[in-house]
A and B are shown apart, each in its own frame.
Chain A
């Protein structure tokens, strides 16, 4: 029963995603799934560890370029490409992590953004002979057809992205429940007490940093396969705010916030750029508005209401509830 309850939230959320797939066009669905994977790393860093990162595009680009380099120069299997992207994400975040996580949150944000810019210049100018600068790496023709699930085709890619998103969410839900997740929260709330309990602040932050940024790199790898084109535009500082905006729009530190935020964000982006064109104007002011309006975001405001409603339903079902209060965190 408790196993079922653990999975029920995930199942409902991803059931709704399947519904979206039925009613909305395919590119939109692919976009929101990848984008929500992109955002959940940022959400974890901001909501659980208390690190605000304006440098997420850096890790996105690392994953994307890892995949792209493999697919362009070495082999044709997109699955291996995605794996290479993930590994390069791990390597890069493990390399810069020890330096970055020692910094205070404000410096952390600045340094990360600087890294994004550096990677942008690196890919655009320095390594232009390998990355073809602004033209980007064209991958569509480089990908082999894979048996069972051919992810070079958008509709089958959706299945793959959907399954992997489900996996990612299960992982993050598990992390939230684990000792590690509790330590992350503690590192955010009071690092001295955490050290008192015998945990290493540094180690926990580093671990969270690597996990979150590897997720982001994974999203980058998915982007590479999905779009079939990887250009430096991906890590441009103009896009650095997007994951933070969506994190806050969805609800900081909530599990489903990234999903809700991505749907709202990508949906609005499509609508606004059709009607109005000047996209960042809306994003910027929306961000300011959400921040001033209480920074809880869409899901962050909805979740307590939903939770109360579920609890009330349960209470009417069976009057004696021993663990409902404990379970509802």
Chain B
């Protein structure tokens, strides 16, 4: 069997990975829920966040400020893209947004390659300290990532349930036309949701950057995992995304402990299994057909 110490560090690794997955896909899920679009360009904002973290932390010397800058710029990019592209395609069907956003993703990666070049860039880990938990050295930064993701989840929950705008968004997820009928400008809501989603993806990139190298195709590299998370959780469900993000994180991490190539294969197997049992994912609803 696996060494328990290895297992513990594997679980922590999986948790931090799950946190990144969650932050990355929650935007995708929110956008699908409210606007009925599949916004693959979230992975572009993820890369943008990571690259900004790299550049700013290199200039300022503080990774956290870099991550903040990443969030800001990712949000701004999302706003820009929403204004120029998505505003025109909300009314179209889902495949349309999927193709267009894939175009944005590929094009954006091209822009990243022009600006930053092809070479992978390292980002220093902001918290070097290690805690000793049950005889295993656990990097504190990974725990910090997990805590941040939990805070974001709580924040989203509070936002959606306790604020009037959040309630409008939730109502919009149920039925956009009725919300419009109440005199709420849904396109404002759309823009807001899209920018929040982009900023969260940027945060995911910023937090992930110190754990990996930053390179142009990183968005495409995690694309498959983002898909698995969203499919397993069910499109449009934040709770489902949360659960499946941590599930996939654990499966990747513990799977790779057992047999290295399992890291990529196991989530796929789980996804197929879940799709076989429930074609809409764990928490996706069947009524989402427009």
Instruction: Please give the residue numbers on chain A whose beta carbons come within 8 Å of chain B beta carbons, in ascending order.
Output: 46, 50, 52, 54, 99, 102-107, 109-111, 113-115, 117-118, 121-122, 125-126, 236-238, 241, 244-245, 248, 278-288, 291-292, 295
Contact = CB atoms under 8 A, between A and B. Distances in A.
Interface string B14-39: 00000000000000000000000010
Given A238-B220, A244-B99, A278-B114, 8 more contacts: A104-B279, A109-B95, A110-B231, A111-B231, A114-B271, A238-B106, A238-B217, A278-B110
Interface string B216-231: 0100110110011011
B103 A106 contact: no
Given A113-B224, A118-B264, A238-B217, A107 B275 contact: yes
Interface residues of B, number: 44
B95 A105 contact: yes
B105 A52 contact: no
10 contacts: A99-B275, A103-B279, A117-B223, A117-B264, A237-B221, A278-B110, A283-B110, A284-B103, A291-B100, A295-B96
Given A52-B99, A278-B113, A285 B224 contact: no
Interface of B: 38, 85, 88-89, 94-96, 98-100, 102-111, 113-114, 217, 220-221, 223-224, 227-228, 230-231, 235, 260-261, 264-265, 268, 271-272, 275-276, 279-280, 289
7 smallest A-B Cβ distances: which pairs? A284-B107, A281-B110, A287-B103, A284-B106, A117-B224, A288-B103, A121-B264
A117 B267 CA distance: 12
B113 A121 contact: no
A38 to B, nearest CB: 17
Contacts of A114: 224, 227-228, 231, 268, 271
Contacts of A126: 261, 264-265
B99 to A, nearest CB: 6
A12 B113 CA distance: 41
A245 B103 contact: yes
A50 B223 CA distance: 23
Contacts of B88: 292
A106 to B, nearest CB: 5
A105 B290 CA distance: 12
Contact of A105 (B89, B94, B106, B217): B94
Contact of B99 (A99, A238, A287): A287
Contacts of B95: 46, 50, 52, 105-106, 109
A291 B227 contact: no
Contact of A125 (B96, B100, B107, B264): B264
A102 B113 CA distance: 38
A105 to B, nearest CB: 6
Contacts of B111: 281
B108 to A, nearest CB: 7
Contacts of A295: 96
Contact of A237 (B85, B224, B260): B224
B108 A284 contact: yes
Contacts of B85: 288, 292
A236 B106 CA distance: 13
B102 A244 contact: yes
B110 A121 contact: no
Contacts of A282: 107, 110
Nearest to B114: A278
Nearest to B286: A104
Given A105-B95, A107-B275, A284 B231 contact: no
A83 B157 CA distance: 55
B109 A291 contact: no
Contacts of A244: 99, 102
Given A104-B289, A111-B231, A113-B223, A285 B114 contact: no
Contact of A103 (B220, B265, B275): B275
B106 A241 contact: yes
A58 to B, nearest CB: 11
A285 B100 CA distance: 9
Contacts of B114: 278, 281
B250 to A, nearest CB: 18
The residue in B95, B103, B108, B224 that gathers the most chain A C-beta atoms within 10 A of its C-beta is: B103
Contacts of B223: 113, 117, 237
B227 A283 contact: no
A106 B268 CA distance: 17
A178 to B, nearest CB: 25
Nearest to B265: A118
Contacts of A280: 106-107, 109-110, 113
